[in-house]
C-alpha cells in the first residue's frame, strides 16, 4: 500500500482516533489520580485547601498550555505536539511517586498539567483534519470515551493499587500507563498527515454570528461541565469515607461509576445530536449538571448516592461531542487548533478553581451539603449558555434534513 493510499484509508483514520483516545485516557488518569490518594494527603499532612490546591494547579497549568499548544498544532500539525505532550506528562507522573515534600509534588503536578495541556488542542486539530464536518460529532464522541475510560481505570485498578501498595505505587502505575500510551503515539502518529481526500475542501463555518458569540458560549458550557465533573470526582471518595465509612477500594469503585457513565454519555451525545440536535443535547446535559450535585450533597442513602454519582457522570459528558465539534465549525478548520486552545484555556482554566472552591467551602462549613451545592450553582451558568446557543440555532445542522 502506498503512502497516499494508506492516508486515505479509513482504517488508518481509526488507528489515529485510537491513539488520540489512549492519550486522553492517560491525561484523565493523571488528572484525577490524586483525588483517591488519601495516603498522600495524610503523609504530607495536607489540609483540604492544600489538597484542593494540589488538584487545581494541575488544571491551571493545563489551561496555560492550551493557546501555545493550539498555535503549535496549527503550525506544525497535531501529531508532534500530542506525542511530546503525553511523553513528558508520563515522566512527571513517574517522578511524582518519589516526591518527598508537598512542594515537589506541587511542582510535578504543574509540569504534568502543562504538558498534558498539549494533548487536546493537538487532538482536535488532528481530528478536524481527518474527519469531515458531518462525521465530527461521532469522532469527538468516540474520542471523549477516553475521559470515561481514564476515570474507570483510575478508580478501579488504581484504587486497588493504592489500597494495597500505597499512593506512591499508584502514581507509578499511572506513569507506566502513560508511558505505554506515549509509545503508541510515537508509533502511530508519526506518519499522520493531512488526508489527501480532504485537501482543498471548503471550510464549514457556522451560520451563527461568528465565533465572537458562539465560542464564548461553548466555553461556558465546557466550564460548567468540567467544574461539576472535577469537583465530584475529587471529593466523592472522601465524601463516601466521611458519610458512609467507605474504604479506598469501595469509594473508588463507586466513583468509577462516573467514568462508566461518561463513556456512555460521550458516545450517546455524539450519536443522538444527529437525531434530535446538539442544542437539545447540550441543554439537557447542563440541566442535569445543575440538579444532581446538590441532590447528592443531601443524600444519606447509599442507593441514592450510587444513582446520583452515575447520573452526574452521564451529565458531565453528554455535551462533549457536539460542543467540541462545534469549535471548528464556529472558527473554521484552519484555526481549529489555536481557537480550541482559547476555548479550552478559558473553560478549563476557570473550572480549575472548582476543587479549590469546594475545598474552601468544606473547610468553612464542614458540610458536604454546602460543598456540592456550590457546584450546582456554578452549573446554572451553563444552563444559561445552552439556552443562548439554542436560540442562536448554532446546532441547527446537527438535525437531519
d(CA 371, CA 375): 7
Q: Of all residues in the chain, what percent carry a pLDDT higher than 90?
A: 22
Residue 137 scores a pLDDT above 90 = no
- The tens digit of pLDDT for each residue in 142-178 reads 888 887 888 788 878 888 888 888 888 888 888 898 9
Confidence of residue 9 (pLDDT cuts 50, 70, 90): low
- The tens digit of pLDDT for each residue in 92-120 reads 989 988 888 888 888 999 999 999 999 98
Closest-CA residue to 224 (of 277, 287, 171, 172): 287
Closest-CA residue to 122 (of 85, 62, 90, 82): 82
Residue 4 scores a pLDDT above 50 = no
Q: Taking residues 238-246, what's their average pLDDT? A: 85
Domains of the chain, earliest start first: 3-195+204-398 (1.20.1250.20)
Rg value, the chain, Cα: 20
Confidence of residue 350 (pLDDT cuts 50, 70, 90): low
The separation between CA 281 and the C-alpha centre of its own chain, rounded to angstroms, equals: 18
- The tens digit of pLDDT for each residue in 288-320 reads 999 999 999 999 999 999 999 999 989 998 998
Confidence of residue 199 (pLDDT cuts 50, 70, 90): very low
Range of weakest confidence among 79-93, 158-172, 321-335: 321-335
Report the 10 Å Cβ neighbour count for 198.
15
* Average pLDDT over the chain, rounded to an integer: 81
d(CA 72, CA 115): 13
Contact 322, 278 (CB under 8 A): yes
Residues constituting the chain? 401
The separation between CA 165 and the C-alpha centre of its own chain, rounded to angstroms, equals: 27
Q: Of all residues in the chain, what percent carry a pLDDT higher than 70?
A: 88
Q: Taking residues 327-334, what's their average pLDDT? A: 75
CA dihedral 365, 369, 372, 374 (to 10 degrees): -60
d(CA 263, CA 259): 6
Residue 210 scores a pLDDT above 70 = no
- The tens digit of pLDDT for each residue in 363-385 reads 889 899 999 999 999 999 999 99
The pLDDT assigned to 355 comes to 77
Q: Which helix (H) or strand (E) covers residue 214, if one does?
A: helix 211-244
**For the chain, first and last CA: distance in Å?**
38
Contact 281, 322 (CB under 8 A): yes
Closest-CA residue to 130 (of 225, 197, 30): 197
The pLDDT assigned to 200 comes to 41
Residue 282 scores a pLDDT above 90 = yes
Confidence of residue 5 (pLDDT cuts 50, 70, 90): very low
Amino acid at each position: 500500500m502506498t503512502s497516499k493510499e494508506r492516508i486515505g484509508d479509513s482504517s488508518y483514520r481509526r488507528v489515529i482516533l485510537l491513539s488520540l483516545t489512549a492519550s486522553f485516557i492517560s491525561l484523565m488518569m493523571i488528572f484525577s489520580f490524586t483525588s483517591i490518594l488519601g495516603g498522600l494527603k495524610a503523609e504530607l499532612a495536607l489540609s483540604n485547601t492544600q489538597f484542593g490546591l494540589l488538584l487545581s494547579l494541575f488544571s491551571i497549568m493545563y489551561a496555560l498550555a492550551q493557546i501555545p499548544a493550539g498555535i503549535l498544532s496549527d503550525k506544525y500539525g497535531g501529531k508532534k505536539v500530542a506525542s511530546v505532550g503525553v511523553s513528558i506528562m508520563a515522566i512527571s507522573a513517574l517522578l511524582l511517586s518519589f516526591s518527598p515534600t508537598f512542594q515537589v509534588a506541587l511542582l510535578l503536578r504543574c509540569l504534568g498539567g502543562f504538558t498534558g495541556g498539549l494533548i487536546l488542542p493537538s487532538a482536535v486539530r488532528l481530528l478536524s483534519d481527518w474527519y469531515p464536518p458531518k462525521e465530527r460529532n461521532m469522532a469527538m464522541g468516540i474520542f471523549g470515551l477516553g475521559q470515561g475510560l481514564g476515570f474507570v481505570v483510575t478508580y478501579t485498578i488504581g484504587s486497588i493499587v493504592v489500597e494495597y501498595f500505597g499512593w506512591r505505587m499508584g502514581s507509578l502505575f499511572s506513569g507506566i500507563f502513560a508511558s505505554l500510551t506515549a509509545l503508541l503515539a510515537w508509533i502511530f502518529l508519526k506518519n499522520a498527515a493531512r488526508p489527501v481526500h480532504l485537501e482543498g475542501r471548503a471550510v464549514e463555518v457556522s451560520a451563527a454570528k461568528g465565533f465572537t458569540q458562539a465560542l464564548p458560549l461553548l466555553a461556558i458550557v465546557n466550564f460548567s461541565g468540567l467544574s461539576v465533573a472535577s469537583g465530584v470526582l475529587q471529593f466523592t471518595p472522601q465524601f463516601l469515607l466521611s458519610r458512609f465509612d467507605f474504604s479506598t477500594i469501595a469509594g473508588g469503585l463507586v466513583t468509577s461509576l462516573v467514568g462508566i457513565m461518561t463513556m456512555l454519555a460521550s458516545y450517546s451525545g455524539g450519536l443522538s445530536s444527529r437525531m434530535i440536535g446538539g442544542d437539545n443535547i447540550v441543554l439537557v446535559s447542563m440541566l442535569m449538571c445543575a440538579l444532581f450535585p446538590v441532590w447528592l450533597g443531601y443524600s444519606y442513602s447509599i442507593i441514592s448516592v450510587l444513582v446520583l454519582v452515575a447520573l452526574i457522570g452521564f451529565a458531565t459528558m453528554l455535551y462533549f461531542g457536539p460542543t467540541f465539534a462545534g469549535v471548528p465549525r464556529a472558527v473554521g478548520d484552519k484555526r481549529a487548533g489555536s481557537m480550541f486552545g482559547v476555548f479550552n484555556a478559558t473553560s478549563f482554566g476557570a473550572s480549575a478553581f472548582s476543587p479549590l472552591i469546594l475545598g474552601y467551602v468544606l473547610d468553612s462549613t464542614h458540610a458536604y451539603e454546602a460543598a456540592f451545592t456550590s457546584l450546582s450553582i456554578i452549573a446554572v451558568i451553563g444552563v444559561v449558555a445552552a439556552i443562548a446557543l439554542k436560540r442562536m440555532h448554532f446546532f441547527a445542522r446537527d438535525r437531519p434534513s
